[in-house]
Amino acid sequence: MKVILLGTAAGGGCPQWNCACRLCTSGRPPRTQDCVAISADGAGWYLLNCSPDIRAQLLGTPELRAGPGPRETPLRGVLLTDAELDHVLGLLMVRESGGLPVWAPPAALSALAPLRAIVDGYGDWTWSSSVAIPGLRVDVLPVSDKRPKYAFSDSAGPWVVAYRISDPATGGVLVYAPCLRSWPPGFDEFVADASLVLLDGTFYAPDEMAGVGGPDQLAMGHLPITATLPRIAGRRWAFTHLNNTNPVLDPASPEHAAVLAAGASLPADGARFSL
């Protein structure tokens, strides 16, 4: 299984257009909004979430560019972890595909009804909560009932899921969990023997947003890295979905060093893995 991290930042990316914090003005290479591409054979690719930056991400990734035919693309489908805008707005950008299968939790599919109605006008799209990818096995774990701000559905959820994607041919296992409000029941078993776990790294500390007037991290649906590091010590996992306020974005920071000392990594946009 081939894995490409198309984007590794939380909503808004880094730098964020409306922010003049130290990290956004540092001049470091930018990170686009979180999105992953996976493939069993290197020919057909599936997206894990579909960020607002998807156009630039596709054009910047040779494996995902159109061809060989004038309107052929290697995209085969999209798996959504939830209905947050920074994870779904890219669907509007890939509407020219002519239609793709999209999988998401039932509550998320319900909340996305207005967007689905728009996208459906551009092709033969299918929407389902039952995932099937040729050549790969996909298991789903509900991880949170945190719903998007715009969603007025009475559904109790689950609103957010994590995906465990296994390649029977190689034994490789990817777990994608960019939004964890807690360490949910069953998660230890879900990540057992995984080759790579892409874990929620949105915030480093529980009071991180205080400096920019934001709500606390748990209210935003994200378990801070400080609560996660003790659980993953010695595991070669990777943090993704990094917010522009997260000090781990600075390679010279003690927070960055703490993540690496625990055995985890902070891969940049474009990082590739073969599992």
The 10s digit of each residue's pLDDT in 157-197 is 799 999 999 999 999 999 999 999 999 999 999 999 999 99
Model confidence band, residue 152 (pLDDT cutoffs 50, 70, 90): confident
**In 3D, which of 213, 215, 214, 217 has the Cα closest to residue 205?**
217
Mean pLDDT, rounded, for 258-267: 95
CA geometry: angle 196, 199, 203, nearest 5 deg: 150
As a whole-number percent, the residues of the chain with pLDDT over 70 amount to: 95
As a whole-number percent, the residues of the chain with pLDDT over 90 amount to: 83
State residue 232 phi and psi, 5-degree precision. -115, 5
CA 65 to chain centre: 20
pLDDT tens profile 82-136: 999 999 999 999 999 999 999 999 999 999 999 999 999 999 999 999 999 999 9
The encoded tokens of residue 146 equal 């945190």
> 217 pLDDT exceeds 70?
no
Start-to-end CA distance of the chain, whole Å, equals: 5
> 219 pLDDT exceeds 90?
no
pLDDT tens profile 5-34: 999 999 999 999 999 988 899 988 999 999
Domains of the chain: 2-267 (3.60.15.10)
> 66 pLDDT exceeds 80?
yes
Parallel, antiparallel, or unpaired for β 2-7 and 35-39? Answer: antiparallel
Mean pLDDT, rounded, for 246-267: 96
pLDDT at position 189, please?
A: 96
> 215 pLDDT exceeds 60?
no
Model confidence band, residue 155 (pLDDT cutoffs 50, 70, 90): confident
Q: What mean pLDDT value characterizes the chain?
A: 93
pTM for the model: 0.94
SS (H, E, C) the chain: CEEEEEECECCCCECCCCCCCCCCCCCCCCECECEEEEECCCCCEEEECCCCCHHHHHHCCHHHCCCCCCCCCCEEEEECCCCCHHHHCHHHHCHHHCCCEEECCHHHHHHCHHHHHHHHCCCCCEEECCCCECCEEEEEEEEECCCCCCCCCCCCCCCEEEEEEECCCCCCEEEEECCCCCCCCCHHHHHCCCCEEEEECCCCCCCHHHHHCCCCCCCCCCCCHHHHHHHHCCCCCEEECECCCCHHHCCCCHHHHHHHHCCCECCCCCCEEEC
Which of the pair, 83 or 210, is modelled with greater confidence?
Answer: 83
CA–CA separation, 199 and 230 (whole Å): 14
CA–CA separation, 94 and 82 (whole Å): 18
pLDDT at position 118, please?
A: 96
